[in-house]
Amino acid sequence: MGLTAFKTELDAISVPPLLFFSPTLENFEIVQERSNYLHYAMNSIVISAGATLLALLIAVPAAFTFAFDKKPYYKDLILWMLSTKMLPAVGVLVPIYIIFKEAGLLDTRVALIIIYTLINLPIAVWMMFSYFKEVPFQIVEAARIDGVGLFDEIRYIVCRWREASGSDDCRLFQSGRAVLVKTVGGISSGSCTDCRTRLVQSETVGAGINFRSVRLSRGTLAGIRGVEKPDYNPADITPGILHISPGGLSAPADADRRRKDWGIINVFIRPEVLPLYRAMKSQDGLYTLVTAGSQNQRRQEIIGSVVMAVDAHHAPQESDRLFCDPRIRIVTATVTEGGYYLTADGSDIDVKHLDIAGDIKGGRNTLYAYLRYGLKARMDSGGEPLTAATCDNMRHNGAMLKKGFMAFLKHCGEDALSAWTAENVAFPSAMVDRITPKSDPALCDEIERTYDYIQWVMEDNFINGRPPLEKVGVQMVSDVSDYEETKIRIINGGHCALAYFAALKGYRFFHEGMDDKALRAFIEDYTFSEVIPTLDKVKLDVKAYAELVFDRFSNRYAPDKIQRLAAEGVSRIPKFVIPVISDRMKRSQATVRGFEILASWFMVLKKDRAGMLGYKYADQENARIDGWFSALNPFEAFAADYEMWDIDPALHSTFTQQLTDTYNRLCIAY
């Protein structure tokens, strides 16, 4: 076809076809004489370029919003936009013709530009959405913390990330001021094992931005701008607190940063948190805490009270040595639900658990083992008494830690250490009401975020001194029971109330569930109608507390994953939900929402077993769950597991019947 255009008419019809001929342009001249094809070509260029530009102007911000302002209905909206490509053109021909006629746009380039834009817009949005989805959300969030607008987010943050995405290093690009990246808080075992935590600054150069990366350390601290820095020299801090197993709930342990003799040594005992240990060690213990309010109020603060980090998993003798240090007067730990290893009735530790059984034989798997060898070393060296405190959300956590540890020593045959501990170790209880969501391992360099609200209530039961915690807002009381019960039933129970239903609906974050009107109504009804009436003996304004909690639950600027909050149900449900159901049944009060929580949990387990949940449910007590699902009727085994439910035996049949009825009813909806 290309050669024929340059042949004469006679050459073009020759048989056989001519491969060698005298080329001519007369065909092009004839075509141009018959019609102004250059005019038509210009129309095509103008219309194509105009439609492409207009489609991009609309598609880029739309796709950016879909990718980074996550709403539960965005996925459906994108699919609906794509489905419009299936719509026959004749379906919109008449209304478009009428609109263009009234607007005087018939037979104009503008009309065609609009038409082609509408035709191509769904594909443009989808392609740009796929482009933006490859950019870690934390980068954009960091830019927003720094006040970067939408245009600059796209121009300087996202585009520069895409340009640099081939780099071996994980970089956090931020325009404007310095942003510090995380060294504390929940790097999972699945994250990058050689992540390098950095301070990233940017400098405006001409029309663009030149990014440079600087490692956060005591040496670079003086040159950091744009964040609050310690008003003391971190190098002058001496240790007074040994913190074992740092985690998301341990931030309050950093409360008194002004006392130079109460520095913190972080001791890492589990292998899955060793990436966090390496990150902390590389930054001299410095990290940044970003508190986020429900209206996106932000505060960025460098924390400098961590003196050192120790890998006790590979070098347990280092932990023992630190216990002997006379400067250490307080040992704190982040234990959480499954870390106490108590039996269902709480009378003993679970000696059948593999970790406990191994530690009784001399292993180092649990907190109890590290306390055993550490305190024994302190006792043998003639060390002074100390306080062992927990930083978790369990009720009576100090008493639980003491009971579990003393039972552990008994099984180990440590009679002398048991007697010394009874005389020389205090176990105060505490209520910590602050949420620090686990970090997303998708980005190596992450900021630790937490909500801007904190309530820390501590039993004033210390031995051998303590920091002046009152000066930083800690409530020192003789009994923390009222605070514990209120927090556990409203906050932790509230997490259970919404998390399982949110998981069934496919939400990824807790605030997305709170944005769902039906789920919000559910958690509010459960809290005000079923939970608060069981707190009638508590001398606190529990209704005002609940309202504050719901505001924090809705905070999209410190997102907490459903996958985390819906995990460990075997440990959480009996502690956070069953006490409410049990109290109401004993009082002959109607209970509806509580049973719906139990049923929704089982439905999550069932979907997980069928591979239909959307994520992998995690529970340390999977053996118990396996037992339910190995039964002929898994739900009947679940409903009749009275050892876990801890319900008055006289109410067993009523409990099972109501739970079964609730489950059958919910199966229709889900």
* Of 184 and 154, the one with more pLDDT: 154
Q: Residue 448's pLDDT is what?
A: 44
Angle at 201 between CA 444 and CA 160, to 5 degrees: 70
Q: Residue 251's pLDDT is what?
A: 42
pLDDT over threshold 50, residue 526: yes
Distance CA 38, CA 46 (A): 12
Q: Residue 425's pLDDT is what?
A: 98
Q: Residue 319's pLDDT is what?
A: 96
Element containing residue 506 per DSSP (H, E) = none
Distance CA 146, CA 161 (A): 17
Q: Residue 97's pLDDT is what?
A: 86
Q: Is 467 in contact with 262 (CB distance < 8 Å)? A: yes
Nearest to 592 by CA among 648, 505, 521: 521
pLDDT digits (tens, 9 = 90+) for 420-476: 999 999 999 998 776 555 544 433 333 444 444 567 889 999 999 998 888 877 889
Q: Is 302 in contact with 287 (CB distance < 8 Å)? A: yes
Q: Residue 543's pLDDT is what?
A: 94
Q: Residue 64's pLDDT is what?
A: 84
In angstroms, the Cα distances linking 306 to 190, 293, 539 are 25, 25, 37
Q: Which residue type sits at 42?
A: M
Q: How far is CA 254 from the centre of its chain?
A: 21
Q: Residue 185's pLDDT is what?
A: 29
CATH number of 230-477: 3.40.50.720
Backbone angles phi, psi at 456, to 5 degrees: -125, 115
Distance CA 90, CA 620 (A): 59
Q: Residue 616's pLDDT is what?
A: 93
Specify the 3-state DSSP secondary structure of 450: strand
Q: Residue 462's pLDDT is what?
A: 95
Question: Given CA atoms 454, 446, 495, 430 in this order, what sign does their dihedral have?
Answer: negative
* Of 524 and 193, the one with more pLDDT: 524
83-87, 535-539, 594-598 — which is least confidently predicted? 83-87
Angle at 444 between CA 442 and CA 447, to 5 degrees: 95
Specify the 3-state DSSP secondary structure of 383: coil
Q: Residue 355's pLDDT is what?
A: 95
Q: Residue 229's pLDDT is what?
A: 87
Domain ranges of the chain: 4-30, 38-133, 230-477, 481-669
Q: Residue 196's pLDDT is what?
A: 32
Q: Residue 332 — very low, low, confident or very high, per pLDDT cuts 50/70/90? A: very high
pLDDT over threshold 90, residue 142: no
Per-range mean pLDDT, top range of 27-41, 471-485, 510-524, 558-572: 510-524
Distance CA 70, CA 595 (A): 31
Nearest to 275 by CA among 170, 179, 364, 186: 186
Q: Residue 454's pLDDT is what?
A: 66
Q: Is 455 in contact with 431 (CB distance < 8 Å)? A: yes
Q: Residue 225 — very low, low, confident or very high, per pLDDT cuts 50/70/90? A: confident
For the purposes of burial, counting CB atoms within 10 Å of the CB of 92, is it exposed (0-12), middle (13-18) or buried (19 or more)?
A: middle
Q: Residue 148 — very low, low, confident or very high, per pLDDT cuts 50/70/90? A: low
**From the CB of residue 536, how many other CB atoms can be counted at a distance below 10 Å?**
9
Q: Residue 193's pLDDT is what?
A: 29
Q: Residue 236's pLDDT is what?
A: 87
Nearest to 198 by CA among 179, 211, 185: 179
154-168, 388-402, 457-471 — which is least confidently predicted? 154-168
3-state secondary structure 508-558: CEHHHHHHCHHHHHHHHHHHHHHHHHHHCCCCCCHHHHHHHHHHHHCCCCC
Question: What residue spans of 324-414 are helical by DSSP H?
Answer: 354-360, 367-380, 397-412
Q: Residue 8's pLDDT is what?
A: 81
pLDDT digits (tens, 9 = 90+) for 85-123: 887 777 778 888 888 888 888 888 898 899 888 888 898
Q: Residue 173's pLDDT is what?
A: 28
In angstroms, the Cα distances linking 219 to 224, 282, 288, 290, 487 are 10, 12, 16, 22, 41
Q: Which residue type sits at 131?
A: Y
Cis, bond preceding 136 (omega within 30 deg of 0)? no
Q: Is 579 in contact with 591 (CB distance < 8 Å)? A: no
Distance CA 287, CA 216 (A): 8
Superfamily in which the 481-669 domain is placed by CATH: N-(1-d-carboxylethyl)-l-norvaline Dehydrogenase; domain 2 (1.10.1040.10)
In angstroms, the Cα distances linking 326 to 245, 311, 321, 323, 425 are 21, 21, 10, 8, 14
Q: What is the pTM of this model?
A: 0.58
Mean pLDDT of the chain: 82
Residue 466 Rama label (left phi>0; alpha psi -120 to 50; beta): beta
**From the CB of residue 166, how many other CB atoms can be counted at a distance below 10 Å?**
6
Q: Residue 583 — very low, low, confident or very high, per pLDDT cuts 50/70/90? A: very high
Specify the 3-state DSSP secondary structure of 157: helix
Q: Residue 27's pLDDT is what?
A: 79
pLDDT digits (tens, 9 = 90+) for 40-86: 888 889 999 999 999 989 988 888 888 877 676 787 888 888 888 88
- The torsion of the CA quartet 114, 118, 120, 121, rounded to 10 degrees, works out to 110
The token duo for 660 is 């079964």
Cis, bond preceding 95 (omega within 30 deg of 0)? no
Residues written for the chain: 670
Helices 517-525 and 493-504, packing angle to 10 deg? 150
> Which position has the token pair 């800690």?
474
pLDDT digits (tens, 9 = 90+) for 171-219: 222 222 222 233 222 222 233 323 333 333 333 333 333 444 567 888 8
pLDDT digits (tens, 9 = 90+) for 233-259: 888 889 999 999 875 444 444 444 445
What does the DSSP assignment read for 413-458? T-HHHHHHHHHHEE---EEEE---PPPPTTSSS--EEEES--EEEE
**Percentage of the chain exceeding pLDDT 70:** 81
Nearest to 217 by CA among 310, 311, 302: 302
pLDDT over threshold 60, residue 317: yes
pLDDT digits (tens, 9 = 90+) for 272-296: 888 889 988 988 988 877 776 655 5
Q: Residue 531's pLDDT is what?
A: 98
First vs last Cα of the chain: how many Å apart? Answer: 62
Distance CA 146, CA 226 (A): 9
Helices 37-68 and 137-145, packing angle to 10 deg? 80
Q: Residue 80's pLDDT is what?
A: 86
Q: Residue 150's pLDDT is what?
A: 67
pLDDT over threshold 50, residue 224: yes
Q: Is 188 in contact with 169 (CB distance < 8 Å)? A: no
33-37, 170-174, 571-575 — which is least confidently predicted? 170-174
Backbone angles phi, psi at 324, to 5 degrees: -85, -10
Helices 569-576 and 578-586, packing angle to 10 deg? 30
Question: Given CA atoms 508, 512, 518, 522 in this order, what sign does their dihedral have?
Answer: positive
Q: Residue 163's pLDDT is what?
A: 54
Nearest to 431 by CA among 388, 488, 368: 488
pLDDT digits (tens, 9 = 90+) for 606-623: 999 999 998 999 998 999
